[in-house]
Chains A and B, each alone.
Chain A
């Protein structure tokens, strides 16, 4: 099927003609990381910290200085998207969000349809700030609802109830044009039937975008430690997890929210434009502790990174005028691999001519032949995409495609 996916590249001039301009096919976005949470969730391996009092004045100064620094390096670029991620950015003072977005508007020419997303926890306190965020310029929220079942919410370490989440979601729908929420499934002791029921309830909430993640036990998290100790029971095996993935595709597809990415579903046109920049191999600046970026400057693509610890990042910016650790040059071939790895997550797939240019014409079609008969990939009109069968085994497909290239 073909999807009418919004164009993010229109304002960034012409389609890419060379490796140096490859990023233009994906667009340009800004990611801001707010690392603080009220509590750390047992499954979360993101860079988040529990801190009581945050010096929002100091943070404002440092964030604004970083925006100015990145802007001088990327003059005249049209900014397509801004994303406040975390941590819990809905703990930010709306005034701080406003100051940041003012600075952003001053720093770059903006796309006409600039998308500004903020991740929010669905509590009543945070819902109370929604209007402030909207007035600051946020036009999309992504809510971490995670489950529609109170006992599972507690088990996932969430501080909200289902009732509170539904309430916050209703407020968000009133305040913002675009609202997405996250659910985590393949949870402990969750049956297929229970998930199908829960997912249908989610469909009824009329969001235009859903991120549906299978619970992944990451090392270094509380769940990871429990699993290592053999004390995390009731997790589905791979076969049941595969069934639940298939159920998810079926129910969301029928409800008009097909997957446009492995775990992301949207009504056509309501895809996360910011995240599409990642998956389409665009450029993005990462600001904040532990934020990653990909920037093509002077024909060279760089991977940028900052220190994980909030205090270390603040001090680095204040002392050195930049929060970044030394930049890594991404060779075109690394870029090619990243592009394939990310773009194959999308239903629209990867463009073979971009792969060819970045990889120096490593013959991907020959690799595809090795997967012949498995019905995991299809190649059509210059794009390479996973089939329904291939999507749940993407890592295995990538191992084949990128083996010995």
Chain B
């Protein structure tokens, strides 16, 4: 595939990673990795790493391990995974291990500690590694065998993806958030619409978003099937990273005449809050339509790498203050990292939630994936700020998960049925 004209953000980053002047979609590039991240799934990296005959990690300063799915270990199996990782980190001298006590959801750990910087090629053993594309990087999920090769060689093959541009404009109304925007985009792009592609978010709405909001949007690019979701770096990015960047930045911007495969225009003026209904993240409807159906909620979950940052929890706490969790609802609040937990503690956010009848947990993936805690019974309904609602995601395949903004989750916990946060403002 050949093309005249300028390069997209992903093309520029992959050209750099591959040591090439220019790359085009479809081309296979051997890319030098800037940052490799592993969570529990990394335990499965250890076997292949040894089978490859590798003994040394290519650059221990560019490897981060963060355990998050089962923290502290809730099963013997999880305890074994953690031990495998600890042992591996010790043997191969990997200093950046976010173990129990400093832990958090792996993507949040990378974000808040400045591990991924503009221009990077980052890979992680988790599909939502995409979130770090908000730094103006190509950040993608890989499996553990592939990670073993990355640890051994510091590089991997990538097919240069075509890029979809999502051009945003307009301002959010009250009670409407970045989560609603990404749900709306998902409703359009669908779960297969960006398969093998990069998604570049641009336009004044995205430019005005904070880094946490950009994380939310890039995070759910995974649900579009994309290789990566990204925002070109700007002053917001540089400010966020100013004090925390772990490595030198090498920012690039897309060319003005970049060749996009497709451009989607989204105007958020007048857009209502959105909700993804069972059983797919692209089954998106305006929240008010679902509210009218009086969907009773058994559990509410404010957590996950999509929406459990301090801004999300502050916003949730502001709604929760003076209210009570409805009878019959279990409301689980799980901050995305230990750092955020501490902030909640200092700001009185924990108390606001627990006084209202919520359970405020230690930071982890928590109820997001149905393997640790907050598992649903068949036929139960959960209002969740997370990113997936496939059958079986939170346990039994019949359980129904509705994905929405943190504010909508809190509103639903208070009402006992799916509710519109704007009624509480």
Asked if chains A and B come from one complex, the reply is no
Instruction: Give me the interface of B with A, judged by CB distance under 8 Å.
Output: none
Interface residues of A (CB under 8 A from B): none
